[in-house]
Amino acid sequence: MIKLRFVHLLTAICFFLPKIAARGGHSDYIHPGTARQLFAEEEPRPSVELTRGYMTNDDLEKAMKDFTKRCSKISRLYSIGKSVNGFPLWVIEISDRPGEIEAEPAFKYIGNVHGDEPVGRELLIRLANWICDNYEKDPLAKLIVENVHLHILPSLNPDGFSVRKRNNANNVDLNRDFPDQFFAFNEDLSLRQPETTAIMTWLRDIRFTASATLHGGALVANFPWDGTEDKRKYYYGCPDDQTFRFLARLYSKSHRNMSFSKEFEEGITNGAAWYPIYGGMQDWNYIYGGCFELTLEISDNKWPRASELPTIWEYNRKSMLNLVASLVKTGVHGRIFSLDQGKPLPGLVVVKGINYTVKAHQEYADYHRLLEPGQIYEVTASSPGYKPKTTSVWLGENAVTADFILIPEASYRGKLLRSSSCDCSYGQPLLLTRFFTETNNGIMFALVVVVAFLFFLLQRRVRSNLWKQRQSSRRSTTV
């Protein structure tokens, strides 16, 4: 009887441990130095035999360089930094204008955050090649190339991969090394891992709208929050919970079988409801990077045989493409302009009822606000020195473009009238009054004509040149 109970207990542990270890394991908050090493040595390393058929780090680097040569018209290769052991963290950018700043959203895919979860790095190279091979004939691939800047980092942890271990070369779990909203640790940037620092710098250099990291060990789309303030396990949604649920469902339902999960309803889960973690990349992206990130567990087996990779790719291909395309197929997008000069105006965009602010780009003043379809939203744009403007937007199945033209708080007319004030207690008051009245009337009439003409030209330019995808069914408005 005792032996039978022991067997049952051992079976339960073997069943649940791999899925817990996928994101790093659940426990109450532990000192960071210990928390990051949790489960670092729990699972045996994959055998050398099992790794055959996977690209080595050198193979991956060569594949990425070969790709950007073959697909040079729509791609470029760059590095965001180096790992502990000095291996470059290579990124492929895919766009019809790679390396240029445009009024378009940017998306990033990151794979191999954990060294012993290599499926993501293989799938991301396949994704890049599929887009290159099909963007001239497949509508979805063409949409992505022409309207999105897609950045692909196949391996964040090449050092861990090379020794088939979860953590990086300093034995740190990279998905526990980011600033955390609930528990402050490693605030000194010099104490962070070089891979972590590279990601943080990357998000300062490029304004990403959305992102996803590819993990292994389970089959589910995970969304924020990943942790709770009291360290307990329960559903804890972020301000954009409904939008994140929409994005997670989009991936899950586009997948061959993720949405049929018996463990996770619809194949999605709130991170804190699954098990809380702290110092994760996902929450940091949303809080500090202005980026909506999902954590995608794409394979029940953390290191499946290479012969299974084509099947796993086919199961995930549509999901990976649809998630990127969602940046332009849904949500509210637009630009902010100043009425007085007609120039792009860096500002902020908020949605009533959602405690989250989206920043417009400094140069083009474009914003990209991801939102769950099927609702009416009150969207407000603001900028220092200008009067905020609000519009109501019905967001259906397709994206909506809402451009804002903001009026200066101190109007030109007010300045002009103040500058023409005089002390009429001396001299000829009636003559001076008539002079300024007639002069102001003429100036104001000319000003009204000029402003009306500029407003007409600005509306024409905004409506005709903002987005290429407006040729589709996207609705647009200028307020």
Catalytic residues: 297
Give the separation between CA 282 and CA 276, rounded to whole angstroms.
12
* SS3 at position 264: coil
Name the CA radius of gyration of the chain, rounded.
Answer: 27
Q: Determine the residue type at 218.
A: A
**Strands 354-359 and 348-351, bridge-based pairing:** antiparallel
10 Å CB burial of residue 328 (0-12, 13-18, 19+) is: buried
> In whole angstroms, what is the distance from residue 390 CA to residue 479 CA?
8
- Give the type of residue at 12: A
Contact 3, 202 (CB under 8 A): no
Cβ-count burial of 405 within 10 angstroms (0-12 exposed, 13-18 middle, 19+ buried)?
buried
Instruction: Give the number of residues written for the chain.
Output: 479
Helix axes 281-288, 194-205, angle to 10 degrees: 30
Enter the DSSP assignment of 56: P
Q: Name the H helices within 229-305.
A: 241-254, 271-274, 281-288
Q: Which DSSP string do the residues of 382-448 spell out, in sequence order?
A: E-TTB--EEEEEEE-SS-EEEEEEEPBSS-HHHHHHHHT---TTSS-HHHHHHHHHHHHHHHHHHHH
Cα separation, 281 vs 295, whole angstroms? 9
- Cα 340 to chain centroid distance, Å, stands at 33
Q: ω before 225 within 30° of 0 (cis)? A: yes
What strands lie across the sheet with 106-111, from one edge to the other? 75-82, 88-94, 149-153, 106-111, 210-215, 292-299, 218-223, 268-270
Residue type, 76: R
3-class DSSP state of 117: coil
Contact between residue 401 and residue 478 where contact means Cβ atoms under 8 Å apart: no
